Protein backbone atom coordinates (compact mmCIF):
# COMPACT_ATOMS: atom_id res chain seq x y z
CA UNK A 1 0.00 0.00 0.00
CA UNK A 2 1.34 3.44 -0.95
CA UNK A 3 0.88 6.60 1.13
CA UNK A 4 -2.53 6.84 2.73
CA UNK A 5 -4.68 9.78 1.69
CA UNK A 6 -7.27 11.02 4.16
CA UNK A 7 -9.51 13.39 2.24
CA UNK A 8 -10.64 16.50 4.07
CA UNK A 9 -13.90 16.14 5.98
CA UNK A 10 -15.68 18.08 8.71
CA UNK A 11 -14.07 17.77 12.10
CA UNK A 12 -17.30 16.80 13.93
CA UNK A 13 -18.24 14.26 11.26
CA UNK A 14 -14.80 12.74 11.53
CA UNK A 15 -14.92 12.43 15.28
CA UNK A 16 -18.45 11.01 15.12
CA UNK A 17 -17.36 8.42 12.57
CA UNK A 18 -14.33 7.50 14.68
CA UNK A 19 -16.48 7.29 17.83
CA UNK A 20 -19.12 5.04 16.23
CA UNK A 21 -16.77 2.71 14.45
CA UNK A 22 -13.84 2.43 16.88
CA UNK A 23 -13.41 -0.51 19.27
CA UNK A 24 -14.17 1.84 22.18
CA UNK A 25 -17.87 1.25 21.33
CA UNK A 26 -17.49 -2.14 23.03
CA UNK A 27 -17.17 -0.35 26.38
CA UNK A 28 -20.91 0.12 26.07
CA UNK A 29 -21.49 -3.65 25.70
CA UNK A 30 -23.02 -4.22 29.16
CA UNK A 31 -25.43 -1.30 28.72
CA UNK A 32 -26.31 -2.38 25.18
CA UNK A 33 -26.92 -6.02 26.30
CA UNK A 34 -29.11 -4.89 29.17
CA UNK A 35 -31.12 -2.65 26.85
CA UNK A 36 -31.50 -5.50 24.34
CA UNK A 37 -32.74 -7.89 27.09
CA UNK A 38 -35.12 -5.22 28.39
CA UNK A 39 -36.75 -4.56 25.03
CA UNK A 40 -36.34 -7.83 23.13
CA UNK A 41 -35.90 -10.55 25.70
CA UNK A 42 -33.32 -13.38 25.86
CA UNK A 43 -32.89 -13.80 22.10
CA UNK A 44 -31.90 -10.13 21.71
CA UNK A 45 -29.53 -10.39 24.68
CA UNK A 46 -27.70 -13.31 23.06
CA UNK A 47 -27.60 -11.66 19.66
CA UNK A 48 -26.13 -8.44 21.07
CA UNK A 49 -23.62 -10.04 23.42
CA UNK A 50 -22.22 -12.44 20.81
CA UNK A 51 -23.02 -10.63 17.57
CA UNK A 52 -21.42 -7.23 18.17
CA UNK A 53 -17.92 -8.47 19.08
CA UNK A 54 -18.11 -10.94 16.17
CA UNK A 55 -19.09 -8.13 13.81
CA UNK A 56 -16.15 -5.97 15.00
CA UNK A 57 -13.72 -8.86 14.61
CA UNK A 58 -15.11 -9.51 11.12
CA UNK A 59 -14.59 -5.93 9.87
CA UNK A 60 -11.14 -5.84 11.45
CA UNK A 61 -11.68 -3.06 13.93
CA UNK A 62 -9.59 -4.88 16.56
CA UNK A 63 -6.58 -5.25 14.29
CA UNK A 64 -5.68 -1.58 13.74
CA UNK A 65 -2.02 -0.75 14.14
CA UNK A 66 -1.01 2.57 15.59
CA UNK A 67 -0.24 3.75 12.07
CA UNK A 68 -3.63 2.69 10.72
CA UNK A 69 -5.24 4.45 13.63
CA UNK A 70 -3.47 7.70 12.81
CA UNK A 71 -4.36 7.36 9.15
CA UNK A 72 -7.99 6.49 9.79
CA UNK A 73 -8.45 9.43 12.11
CA UNK A 74 -6.74 11.75 9.60
CA UNK A 75 -8.04 15.10 8.63
CA UNK A 76 -6.99 17.48 11.35
CA UNK A 77 -3.75 18.90 12.71
CA UNK A 78 -3.94 16.74 15.85
CA UNK A 79 -3.97 13.55 13.78
CA UNK A 80 -1.08 14.77 11.66
CA UNK A 81 0.88 15.74 14.79
CA UNK A 82 0.07 12.34 16.29
CA UNK A 83 1.35 10.49 13.20
CA UNK A 84 4.46 12.68 13.22
CA UNK A 85 5.00 11.86 16.91
CA UNK A 86 5.09 8.19 15.93
CA UNK A 87 7.39 8.90 13.01
CA UNK A 88 9.78 10.90 15.22
CA UNK A 89 9.83 8.19 17.93
CA UNK A 90 10.34 5.37 15.42
CA UNK A 91 13.03 7.33 13.62
CA UNK A 92 14.90 7.91 16.90
CA UNK A 93 14.55 4.23 17.88
CA UNK A 94 15.69 2.84 14.51
CA UNK A 95 18.30 5.55 13.74
CA UNK A 96 16.26 6.71 10.80
CA UNK A 97 14.99 10.10 9.63
CA UNK A 98 11.60 11.62 8.93
CA UNK A 99 10.19 14.91 7.63
CA UNK A 100 6.91 16.72 7.28
CA UNK A 101 5.73 18.37 4.05
CA UNK A 102 2.74 20.69 3.81
CA UNK A 103 1.20 21.61 0.45
CA UNK A 104 -1.40 24.19 -0.58
CA UNK A 105 -2.87 25.34 -3.85
CA UNK A 106 -1.83 28.83 -4.95
CA UNK A 107 -4.52 31.27 -5.99
CA UNK A 108 -7.52 29.09 -5.06
CA UNK A 109 -9.65 32.26 -5.04
CA UNK A 110 -8.76 32.90 -8.64
CA UNK A 111 -9.88 29.37 -9.55
CA UNK A 112 -13.08 29.78 -7.54
CA UNK A 113 -13.83 33.06 -9.34
CA UNK A 114 -13.17 31.58 -12.76
CA UNK A 115 -14.81 28.18 -12.36
CA UNK A 116 -16.89 28.24 -9.17
CA UNK A 117 -16.56 26.54 -5.80
CA UNK A 118 -17.65 23.07 -6.96
CA UNK A 119 -15.00 22.90 -9.65
CA UNK A 120 -12.40 24.17 -7.18
CA UNK A 121 -13.34 21.33 -4.80
CA UNK A 122 -13.19 18.77 -7.61
CA UNK A 123 -9.80 20.01 -8.81
CA UNK A 124 -8.38 20.09 -5.27
CA UNK A 125 -9.67 16.61 -4.50
CA UNK A 126 -8.34 15.12 -7.74
CA UNK A 127 -4.95 16.78 -7.41
CA UNK A 128 -4.57 15.56 -3.82
CA UNK A 129 -5.70 12.06 -4.73
CA UNK A 130 -2.52 11.76 -6.83
CA UNK A 131 -0.34 12.04 -3.75
CA UNK A 132 -0.26 8.32 -2.88
CA UNK A 133 1.15 7.73 -6.38
CA UNK A 134 4.32 9.72 -5.61
CA UNK A 135 4.71 8.72 -1.96
CA UNK A 136 6.12 5.56 -0.45
CA UNK A 137 4.57 2.89 1.65
CA UNK A 138 3.87 4.17 5.14
CA UNK A 139 3.81 7.87 4.22
CA UNK A 140 0.58 9.45 5.43
CA UNK A 141 -1.46 12.38 4.17
CA UNK A 142 -3.68 14.60 6.32
CA UNK A 143 -5.88 17.58 5.63
CA UNK A 144 -4.65 19.93 8.35
CA UNK A 145 -6.52 23.12 7.51
CA UNK A 146 -9.02 24.35 4.96
CA UNK A 147 -6.41 24.61 2.26
CA UNK A 148 -3.38 22.85 3.68
CA UNK A 149 -2.48 19.20 3.41
CA UNK A 150 0.35 17.65 5.41
CA UNK A 151 2.45 14.63 4.54
CA UNK A 152 4.14 12.69 7.34
CA UNK A 153 7.05 10.74 5.87
CA UNK A 154 7.61 7.24 7.17
CA UNK A 155 11.12 7.01 8.67
CA UNK A 156 13.86 5.99 6.22
CA UNK A 157 17.59 5.37 6.74
CA UNK A 158 18.71 8.49 4.84
CA UNK A 159 16.79 11.71 4.37
CA UNK A 160 18.76 14.86 3.66
CA UNK A 161 17.84 18.28 2.33
CA UNK A 162 18.53 17.23 -1.25
CA UNK A 163 16.25 14.18 -1.03
CA UNK A 164 13.35 16.15 0.45
CA UNK A 165 13.73 18.94 -2.12
CA UNK A 166 13.53 16.31 -4.87
CA UNK A 167 10.52 14.69 -3.24
CA UNK A 168 8.85 18.11 -2.87
CA UNK A 169 9.41 18.80 -6.57
CA UNK A 170 7.90 15.37 -7.43
CA UNK A 171 4.90 16.04 -5.20
CA UNK A 172 4.50 19.48 -6.75
CA UNK A 173 4.61 18.19 -10.35
CA UNK A 174 2.02 15.50 -9.53
CA UNK A 175 -0.28 18.10 -7.98
CA UNK A 176 0.18 20.52 -10.87
CA UNK A 177 -0.84 18.08 -13.63
CA UNK A 178 -3.96 19.65 -15.20
CA UNK A 179 -7.31 18.18 -14.18
CA UNK A 180 -9.93 17.53 -16.83
CA UNK A 181 -13.34 18.83 -15.77
CA UNK A 182 -16.19 18.76 -18.30
CA UNK A 183 -13.72 18.50 -21.16
CA UNK A 184 -11.76 21.52 -19.88
CA UNK A 185 -8.20 21.13 -18.64
CA UNK A 186 -7.94 23.10 -15.40
CA UNK A 187 -4.41 23.94 -14.27
CA UNK A 188 -3.43 24.81 -10.73
CA UNK A 189 -0.13 25.63 -9.08
CA UNK A 190 0.92 24.42 -5.66
CA UNK A 191 3.43 25.54 -3.06
CA UNK A 192 5.30 23.20 -0.73
CA UNK A 193 6.88 23.84 2.68
CA UNK A 194 8.80 21.22 4.59
CA UNK A 195 10.80 20.62 7.70
CA UNK A 196 13.29 17.81 8.18
CA UNK A 197 12.93 15.91 11.45
CA UNK A 198 16.57 16.78 12.16
CA UNK A 199 15.63 20.48 11.89
CA UNK A 200 12.60 20.26 14.14
CA UNK A 201 12.65 23.46 16.24
CA UNK A 202 10.79 21.61 19.04
CA UNK A 203 10.69 17.98 19.97
CA UNK A 204 7.31 16.59 18.98
CA UNK A 205 5.10 16.12 15.95
CA UNK A 206 3.13 19.30 16.53
CA UNK A 207 6.37 21.34 16.42
CA UNK A 208 7.48 19.63 13.24
CA UNK A 209 4.09 20.28 11.62
CA UNK A 210 4.15 23.91 12.75
CA UNK A 211 7.64 24.39 11.25
CA UNK A 212 6.56 22.86 7.93
CA UNK A 213 3.49 25.13 7.90
CA UNK A 214 5.69 28.18 8.53
CA UNK A 215 7.85 27.09 5.58
CA UNK A 216 4.68 26.75 3.47
CA UNK A 217 3.59 30.26 4.48
CA UNK A 218 7.00 31.48 3.32
CA UNK A 219 6.65 29.55 0.05
CA UNK A 220 3.18 31.01 -0.55
CA UNK A 221 4.51 34.53 0.03
CA UNK A 222 7.08 33.86 -2.64
CA UNK A 223 4.97 31.72 -4.95
CA UNK A 224 3.34 30.70 -7.11
CA UNK A 225 4.78 27.23 -7.27
CA UNK A 226 7.45 27.76 -4.64
CA UNK A 227 9.18 25.24 -2.39
CA UNK A 228 10.65 26.29 0.93
CA UNK A 229 12.52 24.50 3.69
CA UNK A 230 12.06 25.48 7.30
CA UNK A 231 14.96 27.76 8.18
CA UNK A 232 14.06 28.92 11.66
CA UNK A 233 14.17 32.52 10.49
CA UNK A 234 10.88 32.66 8.60
CA UNK A 235 9.20 35.97 9.23
CA UNK A 236 5.59 36.18 10.34
CA UNK A 237 3.21 36.37 7.37
CA UNK A 238 3.16 39.86 5.93
CA UNK A 239 -0.21 41.50 5.66
CA UNK A 240 0.52 44.49 3.53
CA UNK A 241 -2.25 45.70 1.27
CA UNK A 242 -1.33 49.16 0.20
CA UNK A 243 -2.22 50.64 -3.16
CA UNK A 244 1.42 50.56 -4.23
CA UNK A 245 1.58 46.81 -3.49
CA UNK A 246 -1.37 46.18 -5.77
CA UNK A 247 -0.04 48.53 -8.39
CA UNK A 248 3.34 46.82 -8.33
CA UNK A 249 1.74 43.40 -8.73
CA UNK A 250 -0.30 44.69 -11.67
CA UNK A 251 2.81 46.37 -13.07
CA UNK A 252 4.61 43.02 -13.01
CA UNK A 253 1.75 41.42 -14.94
CA UNK A 254 1.75 44.27 -17.44
CA UNK A 255 5.50 44.05 -18.14
CA UNK A 256 6.27 47.45 -16.59
CA UNK A 257 9.38 46.11 -14.83
CA UNK A 258 12.45 45.99 -17.04
CA UNK A 259 16.16 45.70 -16.48
CA UNK A 260 18.37 48.59 -17.46
CA UNK A 261 21.96 47.72 -18.18
CA UNK A 262 25.16 49.24 -16.80
CA UNK A 263 28.45 48.31 -18.50
CA UNK A 264 31.40 46.76 -16.69
CA UNK A 265 34.88 47.23 -18.18
CA UNK A 266 38.02 45.13 -18.00
CA UNK A 267 40.89 47.44 -16.98
CA UNK A 268 43.46 45.24 -18.80
CA UNK A 269 41.87 45.66 -22.21
CA UNK A 270 39.43 48.52 -21.73
CA UNK A 271 36.73 46.36 -23.34
CA UNK A 272 33.25 45.62 -22.07
CA UNK A 273 33.38 42.54 -19.84
CA UNK A 274 29.66 42.52 -19.07
CA UNK A 275 26.51 44.43 -18.22
CA UNK A 276 24.76 44.43 -14.86
CA UNK A 277 20.95 44.18 -15.11
CA UNK A 278 19.35 46.73 -12.76
CA UNK A 279 15.58 46.62 -12.42
CA UNK A 280 13.48 49.68 -13.24
CA UNK A 281 9.72 50.19 -12.92
CA UNK A 282 8.34 52.11 -15.87
CA UNK A 283 5.27 53.47 -14.06
CA UNK A 284 2.54 54.69 -16.46
CA UNK A 285 2.02 57.92 -14.44
CA UNK A 286 5.09 58.41 -12.24
CA UNK A 287 7.69 57.50 -14.87
CA UNK A 288 10.84 55.57 -13.95
CA UNK A 289 10.80 54.35 -10.34
CA UNK A 290 14.15 53.13 -8.89
CA UNK A 291 14.67 49.84 -7.00
CA UNK A 292 15.17 51.63 -3.67
CA UNK A 293 11.45 52.52 -3.85
CA UNK A 294 9.88 49.39 -5.32
CA UNK A 295 12.06 46.60 -3.87
CA UNK A 296 10.64 47.00 -0.33
CA UNK A 297 7.12 47.08 -1.79
CA UNK A 298 7.67 43.90 -3.79
CA UNK A 299 9.28 42.27 -0.78
CA UNK A 300 6.33 43.06 1.48
CA UNK A 301 3.81 41.80 -1.05
CA UNK A 302 5.85 38.65 -1.70
CA UNK A 303 6.57 39.51 -5.33
CA UNK A 304 10.36 39.58 -5.30
CA UNK A 305 10.62 36.22 -7.00
CA UNK A 306 8.30 37.27 -9.78
CA UNK A 307 10.55 40.26 -10.38
CA UNK A 308 13.53 37.90 -10.45
CA UNK A 309 11.83 35.71 -13.11
CA UNK A 310 11.22 38.79 -15.23
CA UNK A 311 14.73 40.19 -14.88
CA UNK A 312 16.37 36.82 -15.55
CA UNK A 313 14.20 36.18 -18.59
CA UNK A 314 14.79 39.66 -20.01
CA UNK A 315 18.52 39.35 -19.32
CA UNK A 316 18.58 36.15 -21.40
CA UNK A 317 16.79 38.06 -24.15
CA UNK A 318 19.43 40.79 -23.83
CA UNK A 319 22.24 38.27 -24.46
CA UNK A 320 20.40 37.11 -27.58
CA UNK A 321 19.95 40.74 -28.65
CA UNK A 322 23.69 41.52 -28.30
CA UNK A 323 24.59 38.39 -30.25
CA UNK A 324 22.19 39.32 -33.04
CA UNK A 325 23.57 42.86 -33.10
CA UNK A 326 27.09 41.33 -33.23
CA UNK A 327 28.39 43.37 -30.29
CA UNK A 328 30.76 41.58 -27.96
CA UNK A 329 29.23 41.32 -24.48
CA UNK A 330 30.72 38.32 -22.67
CA UNK A 331 28.18 38.18 -19.86
CA UNK A 332 25.20 39.66 -18.06
CA UNK A 333 25.01 39.99 -14.26
CA UNK A 334 21.69 39.53 -12.44
CA UNK A 335 21.05 40.46 -8.79
CA UNK A 336 19.57 37.80 -6.51
CA UNK A 337 17.53 38.71 -3.46
CA UNK A 338 17.54 36.86 -0.15
CA UNK A 339 14.12 35.42 -1.03
CA UNK A 340 15.37 33.86 -4.25
CA UNK A 341 18.48 32.51 -2.59
CA UNK A 342 16.25 30.71 -0.08
CA UNK A 343 14.31 28.97 -2.82
CA UNK A 344 15.61 25.40 -3.21
CA UNK A 345 14.50 25.31 -6.86
CA UNK A 346 16.57 28.39 -7.83
CA UNK A 347 19.42 26.50 -9.53
CA UNK A 348 17.00 24.30 -11.52
CA UNK A 349 15.06 27.34 -12.66
CA UNK A 350 18.21 29.17 -13.76
CA UNK A 351 19.40 26.04 -15.59
CA UNK A 352 16.01 25.81 -17.29
CA UNK A 353 16.10 29.46 -18.44
CA UNK A 354 19.66 29.08 -19.78
CA UNK A 355 18.59 25.98 -21.63
CA UNK A 356 15.41 27.56 -22.95
CA UNK A 357 17.33 30.51 -24.39
CA UNK A 358 20.27 28.34 -25.40
CA UNK A 359 22.69 30.56 -23.48
CA UNK A 360 25.84 29.00 -22.05
CA UNK A 361 26.02 29.24 -18.22
CA UNK A 362 29.38 31.01 -18.48
CA UNK A 363 27.55 34.06 -19.82
CA UNK A 364 25.48 34.53 -16.68
CA UNK A 365 26.82 36.07 -13.48
CA UNK A 366 24.71 36.01 -10.36
CA UNK A 367 25.26 38.77 -7.83
CA UNK A 368 24.68 37.85 -4.22
CA UNK A 369 24.87 40.39 -1.42
CA UNK A 370 27.59 39.88 1.14
CA UNK A 371 25.09 40.86 3.82
CA UNK A 372 22.66 38.13 2.70
CA UNK A 373 25.04 35.29 2.09
CA UNK A 374 27.51 35.41 4.89
CA UNK A 375 25.51 35.69 8.09
CA UNK A 376 22.68 33.42 6.88
CA UNK A 377 24.51 30.14 7.46
CA UNK A 378 21.49 28.58 5.74
CA UNK A 379 22.29 25.36 3.96
CA UNK A 380 19.75 26.16 1.21
CA UNK A 381 21.60 29.44 0.40
CA UNK A 382 24.99 27.69 0.40
CA UNK A 383 23.65 24.85 -1.70
CA UNK A 384 22.09 27.30 -4.19
CA UNK A 385 25.24 29.35 -4.65
CA UNK A 386 27.39 26.29 -5.07
CA UNK A 387 24.88 24.62 -7.43
CA UNK A 388 24.83 27.77 -9.61
CA UNK A 389 28.63 27.82 -9.66
CA UNK A 390 28.71 24.11 -10.54
CA UNK A 391 26.33 24.86 -13.38
CA UNK A 392 29.06 27.10 -14.82
CA UNK A 393 27.66 30.52 -13.82
CA UNK A 394 30.00 32.98 -12.13
CA UNK A 395 29.12 34.32 -8.70
CA UNK A 396 29.87 37.93 -7.70
CA UNK A 397 29.81 38.92 -4.04
CA UNK A 398 28.01 42.28 -4.16
CA UNK A 399 28.65 45.30 -1.89
CA UNK A 400 31.82 43.70 -0.58
CA UNK A 401 33.06 45.42 2.58
CA UNK A 402 29.62 46.37 3.88
CA UNK A 403 28.98 43.04 5.58
CA UNK A 404 31.21 40.87 7.66
CA UNK A 405 32.52 38.34 5.17
CA UNK A 406 35.37 36.47 6.77
CA UNK A 407 37.97 34.71 4.70
CA UNK A 408 36.61 31.39 5.96
CA UNK A 409 33.10 32.22 4.79
CA UNK A 410 34.35 33.25 1.36
CA UNK A 411 35.92 29.82 1.03
CA UNK A 412 32.61 28.16 1.87
CA UNK A 413 30.93 29.68 -1.20
CA UNK A 414 32.08 29.19 -4.76
CA UNK A 415 32.40 32.94 -5.34
CA UNK A 416 34.52 34.00 -8.32
CA UNK A 417 34.64 37.77 -7.89
CA UNK A 418 34.09 40.40 -5.24
CA UNK A 419 32.41 43.71 -6.07
CA UNK A 420 34.12 46.33 -3.94
CA UNK A 421 31.51 48.69 -2.54
CA UNK A 422 31.43 52.29 -3.66
CA UNK A 423 32.28 53.48 -0.12
CA UNK A 424 35.88 52.24 -0.64
CA UNK A 425 36.09 53.56 -4.18
CA UNK A 426 34.95 57.18 -3.72
CA UNK A 427 37.97 59.51 -3.83
CA UNK A 428 40.52 56.67 -4.16
CA UNK A 429 42.59 58.90 -6.47
CA UNK A 430 42.90 61.63 -3.80
CA UNK A 431 42.71 59.80 -0.48
CA UNK A 432 45.68 57.71 0.70
CA UNK A 433 43.52 55.89 3.27
CA UNK A 434 41.11 54.75 0.55
CA UNK A 435 44.08 53.55 -1.49
CA UNK A 436 45.37 51.48 1.41
CA UNK A 437 41.92 49.94 1.90
CA UNK A 438 41.60 49.05 -1.79
CA UNK A 439 45.13 47.61 -1.82
CA UNK A 440 44.35 45.47 1.23
CA UNK A 441 41.11 44.18 -0.32
CA UNK A 442 42.82 43.43 -3.64
CA UNK A 443 45.65 41.57 -1.88
CA UNK A 444 43.14 39.47 0.04
CA UNK A 445 41.17 38.72 -3.13
CA UNK A 446 44.36 37.75 -4.90
CA UNK A 447 45.37 35.39 -2.08
CA UNK A 448 41.96 33.72 -2.34
CA UNK A 449 42.20 33.48 -6.12
CA UNK A 450 39.25 35.84 -6.57
CA UNK A 451 38.79 38.47 -9.23
CA UNK A 452 37.69 42.00 -8.20
CA UNK A 453 35.42 44.70 -9.62
CA UNK A 454 35.18 48.22 -8.22
CA UNK A 455 31.66 49.68 -8.33
CA UNK A 456 30.50 53.26 -8.23
CA UNK A 457 33.49 54.56 -10.21
CA UNK A 458 32.49 58.13 -10.97
CA UNK A 459 35.61 59.84 -12.28
CA UNK A 460 38.41 59.10 -14.74
CA UNK A 461 40.82 59.71 -11.81
CA UNK A 462 39.26 56.90 -9.76
CA UNK A 463 39.16 54.65 -12.83
CA UNK A 464 42.85 55.23 -13.56
CA UNK A 465 44.06 54.65 -9.98
CA UNK A 466 41.96 51.48 -9.62
CA UNK A 467 43.47 50.12 -12.82
CA UNK A 468 46.97 50.96 -11.55
CA UNK A 469 46.30 49.23 -8.22
CA UNK A 470 45.40 46.07 -10.17
CA UNK A 471 41.62 46.05 -9.90
CA UNK A 472 40.67 44.13 -13.05
CA UNK A 473 37.10 45.37 -13.52
CA UNK A 474 35.30 48.69 -13.04
CA UNK A 475 31.68 49.86 -13.20
CA UNK A 476 30.08 53.22 -12.48
CA UNK A 477 28.60 56.48 -13.67
CA UNK A 478 32.11 57.55 -14.82
CA UNK A 479 31.88 54.84 -17.49
CA UNK A 480 28.12 54.93 -18.13
CA UNK A 481 24.84 55.14 -16.25
CA UNK A 482 22.43 52.22 -16.51
CA UNK A 483 20.57 52.40 -19.84
CA UNK A 484 17.61 50.65 -21.53
CA UNK A 485 18.47 47.62 -23.65
CA UNK A 486 17.85 49.38 -26.96
CA UNK A 487 20.69 51.82 -26.24
CA UNK A 488 23.28 49.22 -25.26
CA UNK A 489 24.46 47.97 -28.67
CA UNK A 490 25.16 51.53 -29.89
CA UNK A 491 26.93 52.31 -26.62
CA UNK A 492 29.22 49.26 -27.03
CA UNK A 493 30.00 50.15 -30.65
CA UNK A 494 30.77 53.74 -29.68
CA UNK A 495 32.97 52.54 -26.78
CA UNK A 496 34.86 50.14 -29.07
CA UNK A 497 35.50 53.00 -31.51
CA UNK A 498 36.83 55.16 -28.66
CA UNK A 499 39.15 52.34 -27.61
CA UNK A 500 40.77 52.49 -31.01
CA UNK A 501 41.78 56.07 -30.29
CA UNK A 502 45.05 56.66 -28.38
CA UNK A 503 43.37 58.43 -25.41
CA UNK A 504 41.12 55.47 -24.43
CA UNK A 505 41.48 55.12 -20.66
CA UNK A 506 41.49 51.30 -20.74
CA UNK A 507 44.56 51.27 -22.98
CA UNK A 508 46.27 54.10 -21.14
CA UNK A 509 45.95 52.45 -17.75
CA UNK A 510 45.82 48.75 -18.65
P1 LIG B 1 23.69 47.33 -6.58
O2 LIG B 1 23.55 45.94 -7.05
O3 LIG B 1 24.84 47.64 -5.69
O4 LIG B 1 23.70 48.20 -7.89
C5 LIG B 1 24.48 49.27 -8.06
C6 LIG B 1 23.70 50.53 -7.83
O7 LIG B 1 24.59 51.62 -7.87
C8 LIG B 1 22.68 50.79 -8.92
O9 LIG B 1 21.62 51.47 -8.33
C10 LIG B 1 23.42 51.71 -9.85
O11 LIG B 1 22.59 52.51 -10.66
C12 LIG B 1 24.19 52.54 -8.85
N13 LIG B 1 25.40 53.09 -9.41
C14 LIG B 1 26.10 52.62 -10.45
N15 LIG B 1 27.17 53.40 -10.69
C16 LIG B 1 27.16 54.36 -9.74
C17 LIG B 1 28.02 55.46 -9.45
O18 LIG B 1 29.02 55.70 -10.11
N19 LIG B 1 27.70 56.26 -8.39
C20 LIG B 1 26.61 56.02 -7.64
N21 LIG B 1 26.37 56.83 -6.65
N22 LIG B 1 25.76 54.98 -7.87
C23 LIG B 1 26.04 54.16 -8.92
P24 LIG B 1 20.15 51.07 -8.61
O25 LIG B 1 19.98 50.67 -10.01
O26 LIG B 1 19.30 52.14 -8.03
O27 LIG B 1 20.02 49.76 -7.76
C28 LIG B 1 20.09 49.80 -6.38
C29 LIG B 1 20.11 48.45 -5.82
O30 LIG B 1 18.88 47.77 -6.03
C31 LIG B 1 21.15 47.55 -6.44
O32 LIG B 1 22.37 47.83 -5.84
C33 LIG B 1 20.63 46.18 -6.13
O34 LIG B 1 21.02 45.79 -4.85
C35 LIG B 1 19.15 46.40 -6.16
N36 LIG B 1 18.63 45.88 -7.43
C37 LIG B 1 18.59 46.47 -8.63
N38 LIG B 1 18.02 45.64 -9.53
C39 LIG B 1 17.69 44.51 -8.86
C40 LIG B 1 17.07 43.27 -9.23
O41 LIG B 1 16.71 43.01 -10.39
N42 LIG B 1 16.90 42.34 -8.26
C43 LIG B 1 17.31 42.56 -6.98
N44 LIG B 1 17.12 41.58 -6.08
N45 LIG B 1 17.91 43.69 -6.61
C46 LIG B 1 18.08 44.66 -7.53
CA1 LIG C 1 24.54 44.39 -7.88
CA1 LIG D 1 26.65 46.81 -5.26
- We report the CATH number of the domain holding residue 166 as 3.30.70.270
pLDDT at 428: 96
**CA-based nearest residue to 477, from 505, 456, 506:** 456
pLDDT at 39: 62
* Ligand nearest, relative to CA of residue 453: 3
Residue of the nearest CA to atom 37 in ligand 1? 278
Residue of the nearest CA to atom 45 in ligand 1? 335
Say if residue 166 is in the same domain as residue 135.
Answer: yes
User: Is residue 453 lining ligand 1, measured as CB closer than 6 Å?
Assistant: no
Terminus-to-terminus CA distance in the chain, angstroms?
69
Which of 204, 239, 274 corresponds to the end of one domain? 239
Structural domain boundaries, residue 17: 11-59
Say if residue 79 is in the same domain as residue 225.
Answer: yes
Say if residue 436 is in the same domain as residue 460.
Answer: yes
| Residue 459 within any structural domain of the chain | yes
* Ligand nearest, relative to CA of residue 456: 1
User: Is residue 288 lining ligand 1, measured as CB closer than 6 Å?
Assistant: no
Contacts of 300 (CB under 8 A, 6+ apart): 238, 240, 245
305: left (phi over 0), alpha (psi -120 to 50) or beta: alpha
Q: How far apart are CA 378 and CA 391, in angstroms?
A: 20
Which of 193, 219, 239 corresponds to the end of one domain? 239
Say if residue 278 is in the same domain as residue 404.
Answer: yes
Say if residue 265 is in the same domain as residue 188.
Answer: no
Residues of the chain scoring pLDDT < 50: 1, 8-28, 56-73, 236-241, 504, 506-510
Question: 3-state class of 326 per DSSP?
Answer: coil
Which of 215, 239, 263 corresponds to the end of one domain? 239
Residue of the nearest CA to atom 23 in ligand 1? 456
User: Is residue 330 lining ligand 1, measured as CB closer than 6 Å?
Assistant: no
| Residue 500 within any structural domain of the chain | no
The number of helix segments (H) and strand segments (E) in the chain equals 23, 17
In 390-447, at which residue ranges do the beta strands (DSSP E only) sit? 394-400, 417-420
What is the pTM (predicted TM-score) of this model? 0.63
| Residue 381 within any structural domain of the chain | yes
Residue of the nearest CA to atom 4 in ligand 1? 278
Say if residue 32 is in the same domain as residue 87.
Answer: no
Q: Give the Cβ contact number of residue 510 at 10 Å.
A: 16
In a mutational test of the pocket of ligand 1, which residue from 335, 368, 384 has the highest number of ligand atoms less than 8 Å from its CB?
335
* Ligand nearest, relative to CA of residue 309: 1
CATH code of the domain covering residue 314 = 3.20.20.450
CA distances from 163 to 153, 222, 295 (A): 12, 22, 33
- Tell me the residues surrounding ligand 2 (ion) with CB < 5 Å: 335, 367, 398
Q: Give the Cβ contact number of residue 139 at 10 Å.
A: 23
* Residues 232-283 pLDDT 10s: 765 544 433 457 788 898 999 999 999 999 999 999 999 999 999 999 999 8
In 387-469, at which residue ranges do the beta strands (DSSP E only) sit? 394-400, 417-420, 451-454
pLDDT at 9: 43
**CA-based nearest residue to 204, from 14, 95, 77, 104:** 77
Ligand 3 centroid–CA 415 distance in Å is: 15
Locate the ligand 1 atom nearest the alpha carbon of residue 340 and give its number: 44
| Residue 328 within any structural domain of the chain | yes
In 241-349, at which residue ranges do the beta strands (DSSP E only) sit? 257-266, 272-283, 287-289, 332-336
Say if residue 142 is in the same domain as residue 120.
Answer: yes
Cβ burial of 354 (10 Å; 0-12, 13-18, 19+) is buried
Q: What are phi and psi of 52, to 5 degrees?
A: -60, -50
The answer to whether 477 touches 458, Cβ cutoff 8 Å, is yes
Q: How many domains does the chain have?
A: 3
pLDDT at 109: 80
| Residue 359 within any structural domain of the chain | yes
| Residue 509 within any structural domain of the chain | no
pLDDT at 241: 42
- Tell me the residues surrounding ligand 3 (ion) with CB < 5 Å: 398-399
Q: How far apart are CA 245 and CA 243, in angstroms?
A: 5
Say if residue 156 is in the same domain as residue 288.
Answer: no
pLDDT at 510: 31
Say if residue 82 is in the same domain as residue 97.
Answer: yes
* Ligand nearest, relative to CA of residue 475: 1
Residue of the nearest CA to atom 15 in ligand 1? 476
User: Is residue 476 lining ligand 1, measured as CB closer than 6 Å?
Assistant: yes
pLDDT at 288: 87
Say if residue 79 is in the same domain as residue 224.
Answer: yes
| Residue 456 within any structural domain of the chain | yes
Say if residue 211 is in the same domain as residue 289.
Answer: no
Say if residue 181 is in the same domain as residue 321.
Answer: no
| Residue 510 within any structural domain of the chain | no
Ligand 2 centroid–CA 415 distance in Å is: 14
Q: Give the Cβ contact number of residue 331 at 10 Å.
A: 21
Residue of the nearest CA to atom 42 in ligand 1? 335
Amino acid sequence: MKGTYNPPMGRSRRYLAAALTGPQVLAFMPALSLGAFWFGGEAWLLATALGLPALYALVGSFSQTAEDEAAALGGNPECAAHALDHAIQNAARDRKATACLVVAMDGADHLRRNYGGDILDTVTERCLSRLPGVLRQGDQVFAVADEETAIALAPVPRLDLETVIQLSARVQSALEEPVSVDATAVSSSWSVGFCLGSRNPGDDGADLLQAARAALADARRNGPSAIRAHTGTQPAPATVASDLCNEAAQGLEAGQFRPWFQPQLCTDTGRVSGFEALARWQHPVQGIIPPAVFLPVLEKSGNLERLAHEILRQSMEAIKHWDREEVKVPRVAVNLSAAELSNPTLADRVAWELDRFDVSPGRLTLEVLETVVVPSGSDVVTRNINALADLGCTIDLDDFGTGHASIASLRRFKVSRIKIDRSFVAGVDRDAKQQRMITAILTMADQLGLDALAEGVETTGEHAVLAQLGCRHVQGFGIARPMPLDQTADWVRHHERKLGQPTGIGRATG
